[in-house]
Chain A
Amino acid sequence: MADVVLRGDLHSTRPVPSSSGKEVTPTSISIGRCTVISAGSVIKPPCRMSRGQTHYYPIKIGDNVFVGPQCTISAISISSHVYIGANVTIQQFVIIKENVKVLPNTVIPANMVIASGSVVGGQPARVVGEVGEGWGVSGGGAGGGLGVGGGSEEKWVEGGDLRELVRSIK
């Protein structure tokens, strides 16, 4: 979507040995399939100061991740089926496991690990609940009807398969 900033230039400065022998720039942001990053979000790889030098680390985002508008993300890894609400700040080196819902306006402090199946919210974030068993199941045959009603599709896709939504955008 518009106004999304992916800081792919902030890659790891450490040389990565490649098969061909010559030095290639390593990937700094890898994003899985059917992931939606909404308008105004910034994804910046996390960095760490070590011996006076800034080292960037690669960021990995899984499949079917929804990132709401106006988010700032510096997590080290976000697994699949994660829903991140609007105005969320994820600080450096956060690890988010599968099936997590991040409520809007949350600030996730650095180095936090969010176990799978939890709902987090607050500033700083804490686990406030669990997602239901139905999380991430692609709506029991809602397939054909997806996006028909128009308007905000977010309710349809929360944690579920985002393929239809991605199609509707393109």
Chain B
Amino acid sequence: MAQPFPYTYYACDCYDNNKPQTVAEAAAEEERDLDPRHPRSNYSLYPLEHLLYCEDCQQIRCSRCVTEETLNWYCPSCLFEVPSSVVKSDGNRCTRNCFNCPVCTSPMTTNSLDTSGDNAAPYTLACPYCKWSTVEIDIEFEKMNGISGQLAKIANGGRQIPTQKERDKERERRKELEARFRDRSALSPSEDSPTMDTWREDHAPSRDDLFSNLSAFYKTQIETTTASNPFSHSDINFSSPSAYSRIMNMYQSTNKRNKRDKPSPVREAASTLEGLSIHDPSTDVAAIERIKTEGWATTLSPSQRHAQTNPNIRFDTELRPLATLLCTKRSKRCRSCRHILSKPESKITSTRYKIKVLALEHIPRLSIRALPSYFTNPTQPPTPAAPHTPYNALKSGIPTHFLLHLSNPLFDPIRVTLATPSTTPGKVQSRITILCPKFEVGANTDVWDDALASSLSPIKHASQDLNQIEAGKIWDRGRNWTSVIVEVIPGFLDNVPGSGLGPGLGEKFALDEKKKKAKQEGEDTDDELDEDEDVLEIPIFVRIEFEADVNAEERSLGDSRGNKNEREKREEAFWTVVGVGRIAAV
């Protein structure tokens, strides 16, 4: 998700933890700096709000190192819960009146076509955004509710769709016809087939017809091959995956038991009645003709086609309204210790959580701000009208100061050590210096403590003259936060494509130097900057130390001599990436 500058991402090290490592590799891993541009970093960097924290493992947990369990399904449009049995039988779509527009995906409304103002039948589904409606595919409804049930019975153009039972009956009838026809043709082979065309329908069988034919065909095939099997059930429902797995198990068991007599091979479908669809080139010709006459406007975009239940359609007359996809509520568990990290209340309308362990409450929050220029440049008068710092246009080569702000959510004071590579990784190298890499952050106490004990923080809100940019000193501190200065010298964007400006003389020299260096190092000498190469991101390694109460669980498990006030030393370390801004093209 694109975030506006400035932002902070936290790295979850779940990938590194899962990798089996040798000692040497682990050592190399220790030395390695986090590269925010590494392709893998894409999947390990998260905003703090998205991270959970496992108290047992004492580690950050991202969405990749938790397992999810679905609590319930609900429709995001009508906010009704859908029982899991319905989800299994009817699929993950709303079975009420919720539909999305097949053209623009916005939710559709049921409108009356009645002009008298009584809201009487017939009704249509209409999109309020793009004005598409079911009138365009000649579908009208008799009732306002139960739209999905009505829609299942009407094909585009108002024709009735047969139900499953009718389909089965129809198939039997045709099979009989076919058999009779075959007998007759065997008797008199010279006779042409006049009956053939009469029962072959004028339109091709629909996708649903083919599917039901095919599933019926395979059902009979499997029945014949496993007829000797005592475990076979005649009433297997082939639409459920559990039945399929049962069949697979049956196959395996029978094969093991009597390897000699192989089951007769399953025949493939050979006719339309058995679910075979043969590609007819005349439909292609017809489609091309139609595009010729009606133009591209009547064809569908790939996304529109893929959203449809039948993705093989081509034209907008074949569109069907889409039943809204369901959403889920999920609980999350730690992958390694199986503790539940978050569990929402099962009620759909409730937004509360039964269990929620956030990283937000265990990890200090880092945030970066540009230092208002009147601090660095005293000659400039402090303008209260907010000198808007252009995060999107950082000037190359000019030292810029940023304020790194750490706030502590823990109830114990922490000692923080920050580390950062001296230059940012990537093609544009910027110099970074954290002026005070080691400092303490006070404990997160009750807000009122601060107000009551005014002697606690005499430094707080000191006059601005005291704040000086000096190495080894913190900038400002409060009850549970401390801020330090980070000096950044943004690197040069060499030869940015699209800027239209060739590199100047001096830049050219620097560029050549760089090229030489790159060649020596065996890197690619590609000067072209990739997308977002000009974004200045600083990887910062944060290590915190604090003393905390030994939690109750460990006390009971561990040594018995531990008294109640025992403190243990804890340490936590993680990488963060701070996005400062975009370096302006010179």
Contacts and interface: CB of A to CB of B under 8 A. Distances in A.
B105 A98 contact: no
A15 interface: no
Interface stretch (B228-236, B402-410, B567-575): B402-410
Contact of A140 (B74, B76, B130, B365): B365
A107 B104 CA distance: 12
Given A111-B128, A144-B480, A155 B105 contact: no
Interface in A46-104: 51, 91, 97-99
Interface string A144-158: 110011111011100
Interface in B481-524: 481, 483
A115 interface: yes
A36 interface: no
Contacts of B117: 51
A142 B356 contact: no
B444 interface: yes
Contacts of B407: 139-142, 144-145
Contact of B105 (A126, A143, A152): A126
B321 interface: no
Nearest to B447: A143
Interface stretch (A1-9, A17-25, A27-35, A117-125): A117-125
Most chain B beta carbons < 10 A, residue from A112, A134, A156: A134
B455 interface: no
Contact of B106 (A109, A137, A140): A109
A140 B327 contact: no
Contacts of B479: 144
A107 B409 CA distance: 37
Interface string B342-356: 100000010101001
Contacts, number: 139
Nearest to A95: B79
A148 B405 contact: yes
Given A116-B351, A149-B369, A141 B77 contact: no
Nearest to A110: B128
A127 interface: yes
Contacts of A118: 76, 327
A129 B388 CA distance: 31
Contacts of A107: 129
A124 B129 contact: yes
A113 B76 contact: yes
Contacts of B365: 139-140, 142
Contacts of A127: 76, 327
Contact of B79 (A113, A139, A156): A113
A115 B104 contact: no
A137 B483 contact: no
B433 to A, nearest CB: 19
B315 interface: no
B76 A98 contact: no
A10 B51 CA distance: 44
Nearest to B403: A149
A69 to B, nearest CB: 13
Nearest to B327: A115
B409 A141 contact: yes
Nearest to A119: B1
A113 B361 CA distance: 32
B378 to A, nearest CB: 17
A155 B104 CA distance: 31
Most chain B beta carbons < 10 A, residue from A110, A112, A127, A151: A151
Given A124-B129, A133-B356, A141-B444, A114 B483 contact: no
Contacts of A111: 107, 109, 128
B447 A144 contact: yes
Contacts of B359: 134
Interface in B209-263: none
Contacts of A154: 4
A135 B52 CA distance: 12
A143 B447 CA distance: 8
Contacts of B388: 151
Contact of B342 (A133, A150, A151): A133
A99 B353 CA distance: 13
Contacts of A159: 49
Contacts of A116: 349, 351
A116 to B, nearest CB: 5
A98 B4 contact: no
B86 to A, nearest CB: 18
Contact of A133 (B76, B130, B358, B450): B358
A144 B446 CA distance: 11
B1 to A, nearest CB: 7
B129 A134 contact: no
A134 B4 contact: no
Contact of B129 (A110, A139, A142, A149): A110
B1 A132 contact: no
A126 B129 CA distance: 12
A133 B104 contact: no
Contacts of B79: 97, 113, 115
A98 B351 contact: yes
A125 to B, nearest CB: 7
A159 to B, nearest CB: 8
B89 to A, nearest CB: 23
Interface in B13-65: 46-52
Contacts of B367: 149, 155-156
Given A115-B76, A126-B106, A155-B367, 14 more contacts: A107-B129, A127-B327, A132-B50, A134-B48, A143-B447, A144-B407, A145-B407, A145-B481, A145-B483, A148-B405, A148-B476, A149-B368, A152-B4, A155-B4
8 closest pairs, A vs B, by CB?
A149-B369, A132-B50, A140-B409, A134-B49, A109-B129, A109-B106, A132-B49, A145-B481
30 contacts: A109-B129, A110-B109, A111-B109, A113-B77, A113-B78, A113-B107, A115-B77, A125-B106, A131-B49, A133-B52, A134-B48, A134-B50, A134-B358, A137-B361, A139-B360, A140-B358, A141-B407, A141-B408, A141-B409, A142-B407, A142-B481, A144-B478, A145-B480, A145-B481, A148-B405, A149-B369, A149-B483, A150-B372, A151-B388, A155-B3
Interface of B: 1, 3-4, 6-7, 46-52, 74, 76-79, 104-107, 109, 117, 127-130, 327, 342, 349, 351, 353, 356, 358-361, 365, 367-370, 372, 386, 388-389, 403, 405, 407-409, 444, 447, 450, 476, 478-481, 483
